[in-house]
Chain A
Amino acid sequence: MTHHVILRVVSKFLIPLIALFAFYVQFHGDYGPGGGFQAGVILAASVILYALIFGLEEAKKSIPPTWVRVGMALGVLLYGGTGVATWLLGGAFLDYDVLAHDAAHGQHHGILAVELGVLLAVSSVMVTIFYAFGSRQPDLTDEDW
């Protein structure tokens, strides 16, 4: 791991920025274009870039596949759980109005929780797909680059 110094240095600098941008897209989704889908893909892109530069094994060490699998389920559960919560509070499925004291705040809380679920699910699925395909190939040796 002594080659491509430039690649490694630049990506080390870029990866946190990409992740940060993902969160910007996520939370700015309330006010402008953005939201869980896009943010999830961007977040996954930062992990995938890391895996591309430092190798799949390194990436799997920092983000274990088990976490990612749990993340998938957790994302769906967060989305569905919001719906179940609205049921328990007496509304229809995913009727955010009942989540807070007034409808506007309820909608706000509801969409926040749901988009978080989407972020978690989408980014985990993307990383899982990459792991699944990546681990099918023998790792490139340093010289093959």
Chain B
Amino acid sequence: MDILPAYPAWLIEHGAALAVVLPLLTGAVCAVLRSERAAWIVTLIVTGACAVVSFGVLLTIFAGEVQIYEMGGWEPPYGIAYVIDGLNAPVLFLISAIAFIGTLYGIPSVTAEVEPGKRAPFYGAFLLCVAGLLGMVVTGDAFNVFVFLEVSSISTYVLVAMGASRDRRALAAACRYLILGSIGATLFVVGVGCLYMETGTLNMLDMSRILSEIGGGSRVALVGFGFIVIGLGLKLAMFPLHLWLPGAYAHAPSFVTVFLASTATKAALYLLLRFMFVVFDPSFEYDTAIITYVITTVAVAGMLLASLQAVYQTDARRTLAYSSIAQVGYMLLGIGMATAAGLSAGYLHLINHALIKGALFLALGAFWYRYGIMRVLDFRGLGQIMPWTMGAFTLGGLSLIGVPFTAGFVSKYNLAMAAAANGWWWAVGVIMAASVLAIIYMGRMLLVAYFQPPPEVDGEAVAKNEAPLLMLVPMWVLAGLSILIGINADWIVHAADGAAMVLTAGGGVRP
């Protein structure tokens, strides 16, 4: 099926800029609109357009091109260039597609959870967040990364705080996220400053060229590397730096949680990959040392300890938030191996986890929408009273555990194979252990939902009350995709291998 010729040439040519500029401008318009319905329609159209554009760009990248877009016509390295290659094109499409699917879900969810006067600005902030995340992924300029990082972060703080009309703890969570997030972004910008001192350029490709010419550079580059890893680690909720995440996920409006869980940490993880393997090269001694010792340790600790914490949570969203931290651990484990197979598996898990967590949080939002349920104990009988929503939740949960014929199985299997090929048999054991913990925390919810009778109100069982169609469609799209990947994963493994190829191009990674 060849869709690429259907795209006008200018759309592909300006695709990189279009995907960022469209939500940025319409976000400003939405902020002043009065009607929430109009704001929702604008958001739907814009995110849909972004998804279409980034899909076209993705197809050209699969055809073997690398797109470089010169902002303002200034040629790199003087101007800001937007660079799209095999590494960021899939993430670009993932973010814009999830934004589109999430927006569909917005009408019932936002109406239920956000105060009437704030709904149109809510969509404005959401569009700004989308623009920031897309910009972070698409830009090839290190300082521009910081700017977009902050655009997305600041709008995220606002979005999380909007949950206050439902749950006042959202305010404290947003404030904590703001403080930790700003520290992370500032540490990142210190790192970029050190790199600028060392190389005299901000263009990432230029940086990478200069750094490899001087063999990794002096201590300044090393310090810069450390700052960048810690700064991005805060943003992607690397294990000991994850404290902002559970609160933000648990108390934000469910629409925001869905979007954050499936995209925000992923964009930061993409940046970590970009800096570790493309700007810096694993052939530098310090880079390999940090990847092998620091990242792997942190990954393993995150997988086990965060999964263990997930088991003990009473709030369903908090359980899934801790599970997200554990899943970031899986991705980091793939990075820690620093082999092409490991990187590919980690990248695959990045995409799969976005789909899985998207579906799970969408279902949780529907439970809250119908019955105000947040605690695991209250899941009683949901299998009978909301069978379709619970069905999507179950598929997502099985996929999270890694049951065969689901997306989670594919990426965990690939990860385990990569670990075995690398001789890291202990890592296979850790993956198994973390999956067993996942069975416990997901199984707990599923058991309560299916094997306990629905609660009784005035002596009668609660009637069957399914979520509205606008909620069901998005969650089944994502749940269905994760099953589809479980049955035939070739196309998505192909994308992950393409990304791994970009990462290994520097030559410092073992094939």
Q: Do chains A and B touch in the complex (CB under 8 A)?
A: yes
Cα distance A93–B139 in the bound complex, in angstroms: 14
- Whether B70 pairs with A73 at a CB distance below 8 angstroms is no
Q: Mark A78-109, 1 if CB is under 8 A from B, else 0.
A: 00110110010001111111000000000000
A77 in contact with B25 (CB, 8 Å): yes
- Report the bound CA distance from A99 to B422 in whole Å: 57
Chain A interface residue number, banded = 10 to 19
Total A-B residue contacts, Cβ distance less than 8 Å: 46
User: Does residue B114 face the partner (Cβ distance < 8 Å to A)?
Assistant: no
Q: Is the CB of A95 within 8 A of B28?
A: no
Residues on B with beta carbons closer than 8 Å to the beta carbon of A96: 72
Interface flag for B32 (CB, 8 Å): yes
Most chain A CB neighbours (cut-off 10 Å) among B17, B21, B73: B73
Least CB distance from A89 to B in Å reads 12
What chain B residues lie within 8 Å of A93 (beta carbons)?
A: 14, 17, 21, 69, 71-72
Q: Which of A73, A83, A91 contacts B28 (CB 8 A)?
A: A73
**A97 to B, closest residue via Cβ:** B73
What distance in Å separates the Cβ of B7 from its nearest Cβ neighbour in chain A? Answer: 16
Q: How many angstroms from the CA of A84 to the CA of B31 in the assembled complex?
A: 20
A69/B32 in contact, CB under 8 A: yes
Which residues of B10-24 have CB atoms within 8 Å of chain A's CB atoms?
Answer: 14, 17, 21, 24
With beta carbons under 8 angstroms apart, the residue of B25, B31, B73 that contacts A91 is B73
Given A80-B21, A83-B21, A87-B14, are A94 and B28 neighbors across the interface (CB < 8 Å)? no
State in angstroms the CA–CA spacing of A97 and B70 once bound together: 13
Q: Are A77 and B28 in contact (CB under 8 A)?
A: yes
B72 and A80 form a contact (CB under 8 A): no
Distance in angstroms between the alpha carbons of A94 and B74 in the assembled complex: 10
B72 pairs with A77, CB closer than 8 A: no
**Complex contact A92–B73 (CB within 8 A):** yes
Does A59 belong to the interface (CB within 8 Å)? no
- CB neighbours of B32 from chain A (8 A): 69-70, 72-73
- In the complex, A70 Cα to B34 Cα: how many Å? 11
Cα separation A126 to B29 with both chains bound (whole Å): 18
Q: Is the CB of A92 within 8 A of B72?
A: yes
Nearest CB of chain A from residue B124's CB, rounded to whole Å:
9
Chain B: interface size category: 10 to 19
Across the interface, do B72 and A73 meet the contact criterion of CB distance under 8 Å? no
Partner of B73, one of A69, A81, A95: A95
Is B31 within 8 A of A73, CB to CB?
yes
A73 touches B73 (CB 8 A): no
Judge whether A77 and B71 touch: CB under 8 Å.
no
Q: What distance in Å separates the Cβ of A94 from its nearest Cβ neighbour in chain B?
A: 4
- Find out whether the CB atom of A73 lies under 8 angstroms from the CB atom of B71: no
Q: How far is the CB of B132 from chain A (nearest CB, A)?
A: 14
- Interface pair B25/A92, CB less than 8 Å apart: no
Q: Is the CB–CB distance between A94 and B25 below 8 Å?
A: no
A72 to B24, CA, bound (A): 13
* Residue of chain A at shortest CB distance from B10: A87
- Main secondary structure, interface of B, reads helix
A92 lies within 8 A of B17 (CB):
yes
Query: Is A76 located at the chain interface by the 8 A CB criterion?
Result: yes
By beta carbon, the residue of chain B nearest A70 is B32
Within the complex, the shortest CB–CB distance from B15 to chain A, in Å, comes to 11
**Cα of A31 to Cα of B24 in the assembled complex, Å:** 30
For A76, the chain B residues whose CB sits under 8 A away are: 24-25, 28
The chain A residue sitting closest to B72, CB to CB, is: A94
Q: In the complex, which residues of chain A have a beta carbon less than 8 angstroms from the beta carbon of B69?
A: 92-93
Interface string of B127-146 (1 = CB under 8 A from A): 00000000000000000000
Q: In the complex, which residue of chain A has the Cβ closest to the Cβ of B27?
A: A76
How far apart are the CA atoms of A30 and B227 in the complex, in Å? 37
Contact for A80 among B24, B31, B71, CB less than 8 A: B24
CB neighbors of A among B66-110 (8 A): 69-73
- Taking CB atoms and an 8 Å cut-off, the chain B residues in 25-43 that contact chain A are 25, 28-29, 31-32
Task: Kindly state the separation between the CA atoms of A70 and B24 in the bound complex, as whole angstroms.
Answer: 16
The answer on a CB contact under 8 Å between A92 and B31 is no
Kindly provide the distance from the CB of A15 to the nearest chain B CB, expressed in whole angstroms: 27
CB distance from B158 to the nearest CB of A (A): 13
A72, B28: Cβ atoms closer than 8 Å: yes
**In whole Å, how far is B450's beta carbon from the nearest beta carbon of chain A?**
48
Q: Which residue of B lies closest to A98 (CB)?
A: B73
Shortest CB distance A108–B (Å): 14
Q: Return B148 CB to nearest CB of chain A, in Å.
A: 15
Cβ–Cβ contact A92 & B71, under 8 A: yes
Q: Which A-chain residue is minimally distant from B20 (CB atoms)?
A: A93
B25 partner residues in chain A, CB cutoff 8 A = 76-77, 80-81, 84
Nearest A-chain residue to B24, judged by Cβ: A80
Q: What residues of chain A lie closer than 8 Å to B24, measured between beta carbons?
A: 76, 80
Residues of A within 8 A of B14 (CB): 87, 92-93
Closest to B33 in A: A73
Bound CA–CA A96/B25 (angstroms): 19
**Distance, CA A93 to CA B17, complexed state (A):** 7
Chain B residues, CB < 8 A from A70: 32
A126 to chain B, nearest CB (A): 16
Residues of A within 8 A of B (CB): 69-70, 72-73, 76-77, 80-81, 83-84, 87, 91-97
Contacts A93-B14, A97-B73 supplied; 12 other A-B pairs, CB < 8 Å: A76-B28, A77-B29, A80-B21, A80-B28, A91-B73, A92-B71, A92-B73, A93-B69, A94-B71, A94-B72, A95-B72, A96-B72
A-B contact pairs, 16 of them (CB 8 A): A69-B32, A72-B28, A73-B29, A73-B32, A77-B25, A77-B29, A80-B24, A80-B25, A83-B17, A84-B21, A91-B73, A93-B14, A93-B17, A94-B72, A95-B73, A97-B73
Closest 5 CB pairs of A and B: A95-B73, A76-B28, A94-B72, A80-B25, A93-B17
